Amino acid sequence: MASLEQYQELVAAMQNLTAEVQALRTENIALRQQMVLHRDEHSDLPAMPLSFGKYDGHPAGLKEFLDACKVNFAFRLHAYETARSQVGLIIANLTGNALSWLTPLVTSNDHSLNDYDRFLEVIKERFDRPEVFYSSLEPILDVKQGNTDVQTYISRFQRLAAKAD
């Protein structure tokens, strides 16, 4: 059996190793950041902002949003080398209904989160439906106050707008 002194020595050695691993992790992160900055500073391409707008789930904005993501991928190849990093950029810029839709995919660790092409299929299947968007707008556009009071008009408009979402 190990003595108390040997046990304490082992604990101290483990603590030292843990501290060294943490220092190496920190150094690794710093080196990666320097590498990215070095690439950006010495690139022939103009610096591109990572933030280009959020997508809230509105069908009319999906194509524009995905096109902006593709531009970001093209100009920052080193930052988006993997399918997972490309999906990550899209996810980082989701908000509202789109973010709510994403939550179950993340919770279940859906395989589309690691497959860019599959993720595009899934997001388009859910949000790229202009026929639903435009058909849901028709009742809203037909709402008129007419002889009804303002509160009734507002209430009817809000019900129809909620259905459109």
36 and 9 fall within a common domain: yes
Count up the domains in the chain and report the number: 3
Same domain, 18 and 35: yes
Q: Give a yes or no: residue 24 inside a domain.
A: yes
Provide the domain limits for residue 136: 131-164
20 burial class (0-12, 13-18, 19+ CB within 10 angstroms)? exposed
Q: Is residue 51 part of a domain?
A: no
The alpha helices in the chain, defined as continuous H runs, are 4-41, 62-75, 83-92, 96-107, 116-127, 130-142, 150-164
The answer to whether the CB of 86 falls within 8 A of the CB of 50 is no
pLDDT, one tens digit per residue, over 32-44 is 666 655 554 555 4
Same-domain check for residues 13 and 37: yes
Six token digits for residue 92: 């980082």
Would you say 75 and 45 are in contact if contact means Cβ atoms under 8 Å apart?
Answer: yes
Instruction: Let me know if residue 48 belongs to a domain.
Output: no
Confidence of residue 124 (pLDDT cuts 50, 70, 90): very high
Is 121 found in the same domain as 75? yes
Clarify whether residues 123 and 135 are in a common domain.
no
**pLDDT 10s digits, 41-69:** 555 444 444 556 889 988 888 998 999 89
Q: Give the alpha-carbon dihedral of 32, 34, 37, 41, to 10 degrees.
A: -140
pLDDT of 66 reads 92
89 has pLDDT over 80: yes
Q: What is the mean pLDDT of the chain?
A: 77
Q: Are residues 110 and 75 in the same domain?
A: yes
Mean pLDDT of 122-141: 68
Helix 116-127, helix 96-107: angle, nearest 10: 130
Are the C-beta atoms of 46 and 75 separated by less than 8 Å?
yes
pTM of the full structure: 0.51
Same domain as 148, residue 101: no
Q: Does 50 map to a domain? A: no
Tell me if 49 is assigned to some domain: no
The answer on pLDDT for 93 being more than 50 is yes
The number of C-alpha atoms within 13 Å of 61 and in the hemisphere containing its C-beta is 13
Provide the Cα torsion 101, 126, 58, 132; round to 10°. Answer: -130
Q: 54: helix, coil or strand? A: coil
Rounded to whole angstroms, how far apart are CA atoms 160 and 162?
Answer: 5
Question: Quick one: 71 and 117 in the same domain?
Answer: yes
